[in-house]
Chains A and B, each alone.
Chain A
Amino acid sequence: MNGRSVVMRRGLAASVALLLIFLAAWQWGPGLLGVPSFIVPSLSMVAVEFVHAWQVNHLLFHTSVTIAEVMAGFALGSLLGAVVGYLLGMSPTAEFALSPYILALQIAPKVAFAPLFILWMGFTVYPKILVAILIVFFPVMVNVLTAVRNVDPDLINLARSFKATRAQIFWKIEFPTSMPPMFAGLRIGSTLAVIGVVVGELVGGNMGLGYLLTFGEGQANTPMVFVSIVMLTAVGGLAYLAVIIVERHILHYLPARGVRGDF
């Protein structure tokens, strides 16, 4: 325990030091290297722009829209991915029949569908959510499918020897077994959901951080672009953190992982 806490303390100190170096380089680096501020604005310029965007450009509103879209896309996409993963996992025939099409859809770059969805649904939040659903679907589905496929057959036989029904085998054995891999998929999905939503917002609409980003670009307002990027990173981080918190709660029975933890 002691060795571990020493490693953690040192690691934390190094992390904070790296952050300070990064922020200092951002503040003074462009000036020292002669980079004009419309290419890379300094940290303080971005901070000033942040306050301005908050007061004038409804930064909070746009951030909330993006968060809502990410949450909706992530929730629906992972639910759909999990359900399809379980169904395909339990039916080898269905998996065999559908796998080429699933693979094709997986290979197709999902963000390329964004303009199409906007043609279909207009400048609303729905095309953004739809892109997020599509992009979150695959990592969750693949992980659940693999997990269900890899359940120890002896565990299934144990349950069967107690005369378990198909539903009991699913809820008592297969579903809990698939939890750790499913959370691995959800973690990936949580960050991908932000990408899906942003691409949708970039392509069209007048709401969300993606819109703010293109708005800033149109005005050659580089600090606003930076503010949008920082906020998007924060949204992605929050989504990831939310998954980790739920995961720690649900997978509490797993032995403590090493110092490196979950990140």
Chain B
Amino acid sequence: MSGSPISDVRRLEYRNVTMRFAPTRGRDVLTAVRGVSFSVRDGEVVSLIGPSGCGKSTLLSIGSGLTAPSEGEACVDGARLEGPNAEVALMLQKDLLLPWRTVAENVMLGVEIQGMPLPERKQRAQELLSNFNLAEFSNHYPHQLSGGMRQRVALARTLAVDPHVLLLDEPFSAVDAQTRIVLQRELAQTLQRAGKTALLITHDLAEAVTLSDRVLVMSRRPGTIIDEITIDMPQRDNPIARRHDPKVNDYVARLMDRLDIAHASLDQVPAGDAA
């Protein structure tokens, strides 16, 4: 395996999940995902890839407890999700920083909502900001930061609630390529150090391979899981080193093959994700 200790405890599990959306003007019932079952073990990082609109974001929304599936169930630590769960934290492509809060106050949002006392949450925010080399910006406002820094603050906010499971929906797709590589390394190190479990959605095949223990490939809508690839490479906490490994190209080639990218045409790709 990757060298990281991954136990057999199932942190996050999808059991036969199907999601249908009510018909809207001129459209039939939309089945976003159908019969999806998989689990993410404690400390494992799993990537979910698939064409646009295949229901990846829907799955993440179900895993966060914000959306209830039409059929099946999502479980965290063996318990069926009935709503948002304190052990699961979500991070999206948009940083969703609140412009009226300073960087430190943004990091504290989750723990503040959960009722942590002020001195404690201040301390936690300072620790996290130091880890991400943002300590000197803790009293800045989001608009004063670059896109990469804002995304780091969003990651710090996600980690502040100390969740077991991180759900990451294309967290780095809005930043430039060089910043993305730096952020990927920071994420990988953080996940490894804290032993967090993560489910990552990405369009970037190399990102999926370099950051994960396992990659799940989804089909076009209605999304089902059509392949599961275990990434048999060392150094999951160092995606930059992994990038130099020629194995990455083999994995990416296999993923491209499974996604049928060579034969896909643009009209098969809907403009936006369903969820």
Contacts and interface: CB of A to CB of B under 8 A. Distances in A.
Interface of A: 152, 154-155, 157-164, 168, 172-173, 176, 179, 251, 253-255
B143 A172 contact: no
B141 A161 contact: no
B96 A152 contact: yes
Contacts, number: 57
Q: Is the interface of B mostly helix, strand, loop or mixed?
A: loop
A5 B141 CA distance: 24
A258 to B, nearest CB: 15
Contacts of A164: 113
B99 A254 contact: yes
Nearest to B83: A163
B88 interface: yes
A155 B89 CA distance: 14
B100 A162 contact: no
A155 B94 CA distance: 10
Nearest to B154: A158
Contacts of A158: 90, 92, 96, 109
A179 B99 CA distance: 11
Given A161-B64, A251-B100, 4 more contacts: A157-B90, A158-B96, A163-B114, A172-B109
A172 B115 CA distance: 13
Given A161-B66, A161-B84, A253-B141, A168 B113 contact: yes
B114 A161 contact: no
B106 to A, nearest CB: 11
A158 to B, nearest CB: 5
B100 A163 contact: no
Contacts of B64: 161
Contacts of B85: 163
B100 A157 contact: no
A163 B84 contact: yes
A162 B110 contact: yes
Nearest to A254: B99
B161 interface: yes
Contacts of A254: 99, 143
B194 interface: no
Contact of A176 (B89, B98, B141): B98
A252 to B, nearest CB: 9
Q: Which 4 A-B pairs have the closest CB atoms?
A: A162-B110, A162-B113, A164-B113, A161-B90
Interface SS of chain A: helix
A157 B109 CA distance: 13
A154 B65 contact: no
**Interface hub of B65, B88, B113, B161 (most chain A Cβ within 10 A):** B113
A172 B109 CA distance: 9
Interface in B50-97: 61, 64-66, 83-86, 88-90, 92, 94, 96
B100 A179 contact: yes
B137 to A, nearest CB: 14
15 contacts: A154-B96, A155-B96, A157-B66, A159-B113, A160-B84, A161-B64, A161-B65, A161-B84, A162-B89, A162-B110, A162-B161, A163-B84, A172-B112, A251-B100, A253-B101
Contacts of B99: 253-254
Nearest to B67: A157
B153 to A, nearest CB: 13
Contacts of B96: 152, 154-155, 158
A154 B114 contact: no
Contacts of B65: 161
B66 A160 contact: yes
Nearest to B85: A163
B74 to A, nearest CB: 14
Interface in B110-128: 110, 112-114
B253 to A, nearest CB: 34
Contact of A154 (B88, B94, B98, B112): B94
